[in-house]
Structure 1
Amino acid sequence: MALIMETPVDALIKDEHETPKWKKSTVVFVLGGPGSGKGTQCANLVKHFSYTHFSAGDLLRAEIKSGSQFGAMIQSMIVDGRIVPSEITVKLLCKAMEESGDDKFLIDGFPRNEENRIVFENVAKIEPAFVLFFDCPEDELERRIMSRNQGREDDNIETIKKRFKVFVESTLPIISYYESKGKLRKINAAKPSEEVFEAVKVLFAS
């Protein structure tokens, strides 16, 4: 009889409370192309509406920095050029929501693809209240990213075009999915930041 080894991923998935507080939370996914202003608008929402803001990428980086066994596993995957399994990202999101003690969350830049979405629904077993989509034309996104260039390696025109292509191929199907469920809230993100937030405020005030 073969012995089945439990991996750190299995342990992470199994490590869940009977009735996690976040199961009754309000979750809003925040999506938009690179340079669409997601971070700025999330900061505004945290300040005005007392949401807690999580970025999936930030949580992965924080886990690596923590020196935990999961952090080491994530680091080795990234070094090897492998994609971190959606289960790990989702479990980190659930853990962060549980530890925050809050009940209103903005999850920024997630789900990035269809697999992310399916795993979130299967593991977290909650659906977003709605999806906030910052819609902005590619040429405007390019202009913004190039003008904010502060020495970041990924702020060059070739990399920007690649990032936008990935966004269109992976994330736009997610946006279409939530639109079909009546859960999409689209914002014209090409306008000045203050005007964009005025439109966002209307959604959250209601």
Structure 2
Amino acid sequence: MIVGLLRSLSAKVPSAVPRIALTMKPQVIFVLGGPGAGKGTQCTKIVEHYGYTHLSAGDLLRYERKRPDSEFGQLIDSYIKEGRIVPVEITINLLRKAMEKTMTENENKFRFLIDGFPRNLDNFEGWTRDMDGKADVKFVLFFDCSNEVCIDRCLERGKSSGRTDDNRESLNKRLIETFLQCTRPIIEQYERQGKVRTIDASHSVDEVFNNVKKILDKEG
């Protein structure tokens, strides 16, 4: 069944994804870091202080996964439970629709934090292919944190989040198979372009945000 859904995705998503026909191109900051690095927490504070719109790739996928009439909910569910990356066509479709909706409702809301994307080479190439000339990537905000701290934070979060992927087995897969093997090379690629701003995420929330503010006050 999953193979059939992937074939359906390949056939249908490109024609179903609307083009952003707006006067202002989205201005994007990619927010990357391992699970538990504090991306969501810091994005919330950035939104409060700087007026960005926060789009979490993971949250969009989880919402779509639960949507009763979603054609790809089962596929997304399978990938998330296994700690694997959802096909890029689905993720870009959701991100593009969310940006278009935001900018259509308020033309001044054109600055976006995209959290948890791109997570591998396929994501990077998909974004470049589908969004080239349609959105400007300002830089990558990379929250750097040790594996041990990330896992401890996620296990604590899992006590109240209800997320099925906040368990040690899924976390190890996400850190080792997904983040270290797949996302790190993307960060390195953006570093070669001079587009990475690295934050030590092992400190307290307020300490980390103080360092974020220094970057955004200068470049954001």
TM range (shorter): 0.7 to 0.9
Instruction: Give 1:14 deviation, angstroms.
Output: 2.6
The alpha-carbon deviation at position 17 of structure 1 amounts to: 5.4
Instruction: Call closer, same or farther: CA 1:80–1:201 in 2, change over 3 Å.
Output: closer
User: In 2, distance between residues paired with 1:91 and 1:27?
Assistant: 16
| Amino acid in structure 2 at the alignment position of 1:163 | R
- Measure how far apart 1:16 and its partner are: 5.4
TM-score, structure 2 normalization:
0.79
Matched residue type, 1:93:
L
Offset of residue 139 of structure 1: 2.0
Tell me how far apart the structure 2 counterparts of residues 173 and 117 of structure 1 sit (CA, whole Å).
10
- What's 1:173 paired with? 185
Q: Please give the secondary structure, in 1, of the residue aligned with 2:113.
A: strand
Aligned match of 1:195: 207
> Structure 1: where are the runs of 5+ without partners?
1-5
- Choose which of 196, 215, 218 in structure 2 pairs with 1:184: 196
In the alignment of these two chains, the number of paired residues is 198
Q: Is the 8 A contact 1:22 1:97 kept in 2?
A: no
Instruction: List per-residue Cα deviations over 1:81-119 (Å, max 9, x = no partner).
Output: 596421221121111100101200011101111100110
The aligned amino acid for 2:131 is A
CA–CA distance in structure 2, aligned partners of residues 64 and 148 of structure 1: 20
Q: Which blocks of at least 5 consecutive residues in structure 2 are unaligned? A: 1-6, 104-108
Q: Choose the corresponding residue for 1:161, options 165, 168, 172.
A: 172
Is the contact between residue 77 and residue 83 of structure 1 (CA under 8 Å) also seen in structure 2?
Answer: no
Q: Match of 1:98, as an amino acid?
A: E
Please report the TM-score for the alignment, with normalisation by the length of structure 1: 0.84
Q: Percent identity?
A: 43
Alignment match, 2:102: 100
Give the counterpart letter for 1:61 in structure 2: R
